[in-house]
A and B are shown apart, each in its own frame.
Chain A
Amino acid sequence: MSELQRTPLHAFHVAHGGRMVDFAGWDMPVQYQSILEEHKAVRTTAGLFDVSHMGEADVTGPGAEAFLNRLVTNDVSKLYPGRVLYSPMCRPDGGVVDDLLVYMHEPERYFLVINASNIAKDLAWMREQAAGFDVTITDRSDDYALLAVQGPKAETILQSLTGAKLGMLRYYHFGEGTVAGVHCYISRTGYTGEDGFELYHATSDAPALAEAIMQAGAAHGLQLAGLGARDSLRLEAGYPLYGHELNDDLSPIAAGLGWTVKFQKEGSFTGAEALQAEKADPARRRVVFFRTGDRRIVRAGAEVLDASGAVVGSVLSGTMSPMLGEAIGSALVPAAAVEAGELAVDLRGKKFVLQLVKPPFVELKKSS
């Protein structure tokens, strides 16, 4: 087995009591003290996450916009400098290669953020798709560290460390600035459903910046938060996670991300035909979100049963919602089974009916 990769904050995590686990080949903190407490801190005050394992790439050149618009399902032509776009990128059969963020610096200069588990696969796919476009793709994953400050106190905490006017920065927008003396791309984005910021900066600056944010946040209840809280927060918000609600075999249409698939945009995109066909297919599968009214967690892989007890699907993600105090999750089932009514799971011999919910599961306060 190859050695696990480490972010520039590895020593910081260990020093702060991080419980380290293998996540996609990275030695990452799953929690510090308590996943439930870290989750609640992000919903009520603020949490600091190290997401430096995420991948980054520069896409530059005269053909950058046309290339990206072919690559992803969302409409890149709607971007302007300082705007961020979320989009899946599909294969011709509609399966998702990855979901990513597209940042526009200026015309002909874009910045992509991709999942840690997919960096090599994504770059190979993008380079293959770039044939015929006047574009340069540069892997920047080793150059950037990424810290996320999330929660209702995120702006107050970060504002004390920067002269940048954070209040002017709208959701899914970014700018450049100095935070605690460190040059950053400051992005009003995140993966928790709360208001918050993501700070892209040089890897060598990461430990000093993390410590400065911790100190500035101490009086506001900021807590370090690990991957465990990140997962329960994103599921409570109803955000898909690659490998669960999205994968090579699961399309954005099935995932409920129809809003990111712009059939009408200028020029076609990879996967458009397959996704059109899937959209029109009444037998298609759907990702649904559920709560159970019970504390017992329904875990990924559990079989979903219809009213007759037949297996019709499976659970994709499952956890305990710390805010609801009950189990929540997502499942993949045929659209027809959803319409037919009762879906359930069997947990150690006891049946639990899935109460389908349109996420978010809790009221979120993110700015728009």
Chain B
Amino acid sequence: MSNVPADRRYAKSHEWVKDAGDGVVEVGISDYAQSSLGDITYVELPAVGDTLEAGAVFGVVESVKAASDLYAPVSGEVVEVNEALDGAPELVNQEPYAGGWIMKVKVADAAAIDALLDSEAYTAETA
């Protein structure tokens, strides 16, 4: 049974978004996603300052098994990336909702967050 915390929203493409205040959200991938991928060996991060469009590819997460695109759950500007993942991509496996966060985004439209799935809907999606 995968872990789906209620304090954040989820995209069908398995990214999560958590309100970090001041119009900024933290983004990562779900426990379900990291578990499906298996051992993560590399995370290709976006650059700070990149402008993201919701639904577009913003990075790649590689596991022993496969390389998978990451999709921006919301539109906005990348204000910070988790540089710890360069040396320790396994953080995404170990702490998908904490130390394994991927980037912080200043969202263009706060309403877009509400359009994402809540934990119940995402749980149903991945059941």
Q: Are A35 and B39 in contact (CB under 8 A)?
A: yes
Known: A297-B67, A320-B64. A35 touches B42 (CB 8 A): no
Considering the chains assembled together, what is the distance between the CA atoms of A24 and B44 in angstroms? 32
Contact assessment for B64 and A232 in the assembled complex, using a CB-CB cutoff below 8 Å = yes
- Known contacts A297-B67, A299-B67, A348-B44: A34-B60 contact under CB 8 Å: no
Residues of A within 8 A of B64 (CB): 35-36, 228, 232, 297, 319-320
Kindly report which residue of chain B lies nearest to residue A348, judged by CB atoms.
Answer: B60
Cβ B39 vs Cβ A295 within 8 A: no
The answer to whether A35 touches B62 (Cβ under 8 A) is no
B38, A320: Cβ atoms closer than 8 Å: no
Give chain A's interface secondary structure class.
mixed
Complex alpha-carbon distance, A289 and B46, angstroms? 31
Interface residues of A in 23-46 (CB under 8 A from B): 30-31, 34-36
Assess whether A36 is in contact with B62, with CB atoms less than 8 Å apart: no
A296-B38 contact given A35-B64, A228-B64, A232-B64, CB 8 Å threshold: no
C-alpha gap A295/B60 in the complex (Å): 13
**In the assembly, what is the distance between CA of A53 and CA of B42, in Å?**
32
How many of chain B's residues have a CB under 8 angstroms from any CB in A? 13
**Complex contacts, A30 vs chain B, CB 8 Å:** 65
Task: Chain A residues near B42: list those with CB within 8 A.
Answer: 295-297
With the chains together, A34 CA to B41 CA distance in Å? 12
A14 to chain B, nearest CB (A): 16
B89: A residues at CB distance < 8 A: 295
**Chain A residues in 8 Å Cβ range of B39:** 31, 34-36
- With A297-B67, A299-B67 as contacts: A34 and B38 at CB distance below 8 Å: yes
**Bound CA span A299–B93, Å:** 21
Residues of A within 8 Å of B65, CB to CB, are: 30, 228
A347 to chain B, nearest CB (A): 9
Task: List chain B residues, Cβ under 8 A from A232.
Answer: 64
Tell me the complex Cα distance, A320–B38, Å: 13
Measured between alpha carbons, how far is A34 from B64 in the docked complex, in Å? 10
Within 8 A of A (CB), among B14-72: 38-39, 41-42, 44, 60, 62, 64-65, 67
Q: Chain A contacts of B41 at CB under 8 A?
A: 36, 295, 297, 320
A348 CA to B90 CA in the complex, in Å?
22
Q: Which of A218-253 contact B (CB under 8 A)?
A: 228, 232
A35 and B65 CA atoms in complex are apart in Å by 10
- Shortest distance between the CB of A41 and any CB in chain B (Å): 13
Chain B residue contacts of A299, Cβ below 8 A: 67
Nearest B-chain residue to A297, judged by Cβ: B62
Measured between C-beta atoms, what is the minimum distance from B9 to chain A in Å?
Answer: 28
Q: Which residues of A contact B44 (CB under 8 A)?
A: 296, 348
Query: Which of A19, A31, A34, A296 is B62 in contact with, Cβ under 8 Å?
Result: A296
For A320, what are the chain B residues with a Cβ–Cβ distance below 8 Å? 41, 64
| Min C-beta distance of B21 to chain A, whole Å | 33
Cα A228 to Cα B60 with chains together (Å)? 21
* Whole-angstrom CA separation of A67 from B81 in the bound complex: 64
Task: Report A-chain residues with C-beta under 8 Å of the C-beta of B62.
Answer: 295-297
Bitwise interface map of B from 73 to 104 toward A, beta carbon under 8 Å scored 1, else 0: 00000000000000001100100000000000
> Residues of B contacting A228 with CB < 8 Å?
38, 64-65
Kindly provide the distance from the CB of B67 to the nearest chain A CB, expressed in whole angstroms. 7
List of A residues within 8 angstroms of B38 by Cβ: 19, 31, 34-35, 228
Report A's interface with B, CB cutoff 8 A.
19, 30-31, 34-36, 228, 232, 295-297, 299, 319-320, 348
Q: Considering the complex of A and B, which 9 residue pairs feature the smallest CB-CB distances, nearest first?
A: A295-B42, A320-B41, A36-B39, A35-B64, A35-B39, A296-B42, A34-B39, A295-B41, A297-B62
A36-B90, A320-B41 provided; 18 other pairs, C-beta below 8 A?
Answer: A31-B39, A34-B38, A34-B39, A35-B64, A36-B39, A36-B41, A36-B64, A228-B65, A232-B64, A295-B41, A296-B44, A297-B41, A297-B42, A297-B64, A297-B67, A299-B67, A319-B64, A348-B44
